[in-house]
Amino acid sequence: MSLCKRRGFIFQASEIYGGINGFWDYGPLGAQLKKNLRDAWWQDMILNPCWGRKGPDGERVTCVPVETCIIQNPKVWEASGHVGGFNDPMVDDRETKGRYRYDHVMVYVPESGDAGDKPVFAYVGDQPSEAKQKKKAEKTFGAIKSVPLSSLARPWDRVIGPDAEKPGTLTEPRMFNLMFDTIPGAIRDEANKAYLRPETAQGVFVQFKNVVDTTRVRIPFGIGNTGRSFRNEVTPRNFTFRSREFEQAELEFFCHPSESVAWYKFWRDFRMEWWKSLGLAGENLILREHDKDELSHYSQGTSDVEYRFPFTAPGFGELEGIAHRGDYDLTQHQKHSKIKLDYFDTTRGEVLPNGGKKGERYMPHCIEPAAGLDRGALALICEGYTKDESRPSPEFLKLHPRIAPIKAAVFPLVDKDGMPEIAEKLADGLFKRFGHSGFIETDPKQSIGKRYARMDEAGCPYCFTVDGQTKEDQTVTVRDRDTGKQDRMNIDKVEAFMAEKLGG
């Protein structure tokens, strides 16, 4: 976190006013890193889906984008189930006004035997309450164990809330809707209430018919949507991992029901490979298939790509969910909007005497790879973060060149003897070719070691240095961030070298 702040990756939102819980801003390097991640997703999911690989139907995969509004007609969220069902049971504390997710609250009780009429201490894991309550519980009981609050009989009149002093102040669990609401228009009437979207996916379902009617896409095909989503998370935590405003990149892939399981497996495997291709390639990344009892009633499969973040270790945290959503969403929107959203497939049905097909009308099934770009950016930073006291920069970031916000640095060894001019010319060429995907850093000042160290910390993969030899033989040194090794290469070869390294 301190490297992120120091080098301008991630800042607390509204920091000069003390911040605001659950909201984060990206600084110059973070904004570019996140854009590179979004662009990589767009390139590999929309423009050249799955790197040109054929789908289970033996054809090239087709996807198109949409960009839909954060605020939609509130009926969208009634149809999707978010108004009625996007709830978590919560417990409130009457003394502290704190609010906690019911399933997150644990209680310290005596290891054996009953607490009698002594108080028991509630806490939320990973929060300051955990250590504080543990200390008090040990003082009261000696040996303790921890059990979920839900395992205690109600009313909880001997339970001391996570941040409370007196017992008996926790309320019964109550439902709490995670959607932020707002009132568009001048008349501040509850009847005009609308919501900030909690996911980008629904924007796709409600535009499904328009996309089919106005483009040449035919099933199977996907519609991608990226953008901000909002959830009034009760316990935002772990840096950007659980925020109240975050960015999603979701694909809704529509297919014939009979082919949906094959497409589900295809997308699940591709998404795992994709995250690996960006550098999350070790044992910190797993694909976890949900058990049958974790699946929603309409789903025939869901898996999560999970990353072992430092704050979840030894456990894992979800980066992306890949869900088989069946025909649930289109059916719901058809029911609520009374607009037909089924699909007429001219490639199916019995063969006609003229050799054509009769066609088949059906409700498409949907496979949804739903990624979080903030969690993705955070995982890439965590994975890249490397400590090595023997280096001039004891901390550095091994970011994949495709994602790195600074693509290359060009340094004159000293700020004289014609070196700055050669460096500037080299940098000009790199700006033109690669400046769309990241910064090209030029810096003639400071010792060369300090300049390398700064680039290492920012995750810049290659530094090119113009030195005394350059004038004689037109070579520069290229320094590899990860090994610190330097080689000489002809100055004319630098662009081709970078193109090869940045290739997606």
Tokens read off for 283: 């044992």
Using the rule CB under 6 A, which residue among 248, 260, 302, 442 binds ligand GAP? 248
Query: Shortest Cβ distance from residue 249 to ligand GAP (Å)?
Result: 9
Query: Shortest Cβ distance from residue 322 to ligand GAP (Å)?
Result: 10
Region 362-391 residues binding ligand GAP, contact defined as CB under 6 A:
368, 370-372, 374-375
Q: Is 242 in the site for ligand GAP (CB under 6 A)?
A: yes
CA distances from 419 to 425, 472, 474 (A): 10, 12, 11
Interface mask toward ligand GAP for 404-433; x: CB under 6 A: ------------------------------
Phi, psi of 138 (to 5 degrees): -65, -35
- On whether the CB atoms of residues 374 and 249 are closer than 8 A, the answer is no
- On whether the CB atoms of residues 131 and 124 are closer than 8 A, the answer is no
Q: Which of 322, 315, 321, 240 is nearest to 284 (CA)?
A: 315
Q: Is 199 in the site for ligand GAP (CB under 6 A)?
A: yes
Instruction: Report how many residues bind ligand GAP under the rule CB under 6 A.
Output: 19
Tokens read off for 352: 């006609």
Q: Which is nearer to ligand GAP, 199 or 327 (CB)?
A: 199
Q: Which is nearer to ligand GAP, 327 or 374 (CB)?
A: 374
The half-sphere exposure of 421 on its side-chain side, counting CA atoms within 13 A, is 4
Tokens read off for 497: 């070298």
Q: Which is nearer to ligand GAP, 230 or 439 (CB)?
A: 230
Region 117-156 residues binding ligand GAP, contact defined as CB under 6 A:
none
Q: Is 329 in the site for ligand GAP (CB under 6 A)?
A: no
Q: Which is nearer to ligand GAP, 160 or 319 (CB)?
A: 319
Q: Is 163 in the site for ligand GAP (CB under 6 A)?
A: no
Tokens read off for 169: 């102040």
User: If you search the block for the tokens 């109240």, which residue do you land on?
Assistant: 244
Q: Which is nearer to ligand GAP, 248 or 393 (CB)?
A: 248
Cα separation, 218 vs 326, in Å, equals 18
Mapped onto helix, strand or coil, the DSSP state of residue 490 is: strand
Q: Which is nearer to ligand GAP, 318 or 495 (CB)?
A: 318
Q: Which helix (H) or strand (E) holds 61?
A: none
DSSP state of 242: B
Cα separation, 68 vs 288, in Å, equals 30
Query: Shortest Cβ distance from residue 375 to ligand GAP (Å)?
Result: 4
Binding part of the chain for ligand GAP, among 57-65, 97-105, 142-150, 246-254 by CB under 6 A, reads: 246-254
Query: Shortest Cβ distance from residue 470 to ligand GAP (Å)?
Result: 46
Query: Shortest Cβ distance from residue 238 to ligand GAP (Å)?
Result: 9
Q: Which is nearer to ligand GAP, 71 or 352 (CB)?
A: 71
Using the rule CB under 6 A, which residue among 163, 250, 327, 441 binds ligand GAP? 250
Query: Shortest Cβ distance from residue 1 to ligand GAP (Å)?
Result: 16
Phi, psi of 130 (to 5 degrees): -65, -55
Region 305-324 residues binding ligand GAP, contact defined as CB under 6 A:
318-321
Query: Shortest Cβ distance from residue 491 to ligand GAP (Å)?
Result: 43
Q: Per residue, what are the HEC states of 403-429?
A: CCCEEEEEEECCCCCCHHHHHHHHHHH
Q: Which is nearer to ligand GAP, 23 or 497 (CB)?
A: 23
Name the residue number minimizing CB distance to ligand GAP: 372
Query: Shortest Cβ distance from residue 404 to ligand GAP (Å)?
Result: 21
Tokens read off for 468: 């005394």
Query: Shortest Cβ distance from residue 114 to ligand GAP (Å)?
Result: 39
DSSP state of 20: -
Tell me the pairing of strands 365-372 and 360-362: unpaired
Tokens read off for 414: 């000293």
Query: Shortest Cβ distance from residue 58 to ligand GAP (Å)?
Result: 28
Quick one: 143 exposed, middle or buried, by C-beta within 10 A (0-12, 13-18, 19+)?
A: exposed
Q: Is 271 in the site for ligand GAP (CB under 6 A)?
A: no
Using the rule CB under 6 A, which residue among 37, 107, 179, 201 binds ligand GAP? 201
How distant is the alpha carbon of residue 22 from its chain centre?
Answer: 15
Using the rule CB under 6 A, which residue among 32, 226, 243, 437 binds ligand GAP? 243
Q: Is 233 in the site for ligand GAP (CB under 6 A)?
A: yes
Mapped onto helix, strand or coil, the DSSP state of residue 355 is: coil
How distant is the alpha carbon of residue 160 from its chain centre?
Answer: 36
Quick one: 473 exposed, middle or buried, by C-beta within 10 A (0-12, 13-18, 19+)?
A: exposed
Q: Is 402 in the site for ligand GAP (CB under 6 A)?
A: no
Q: Is 80 in the site for ligand GAP (CB under 6 A)?
A: no
Query: Shortest Cβ distance from residue 240 to ligand GAP (Å)?
Result: 6
Mapped onto helix, strand or coil, the DSSP state of residue 203 is: helix
Binding part of the chain for ligand GAP, among 89-97, 183-191, 204-212, 239-247 by CB under 6 A, reads: 239-247
Using the rule CB under 6 A, which residue among 41, 100, 108, 246 binds ligand GAP? 246
Amino acid residing at 227:
G
Q: Beta partners for 146?
A: 108
Query: Shortest Cβ distance from residue 242 to ligand GAP (Å)?
Result: 5
Which residues are near ligand GAP by CB under 6 A?
A: 199, 201, 231, 233, 242-243, 246, 248, 250, 318-321, 368, 370-372, 374-375
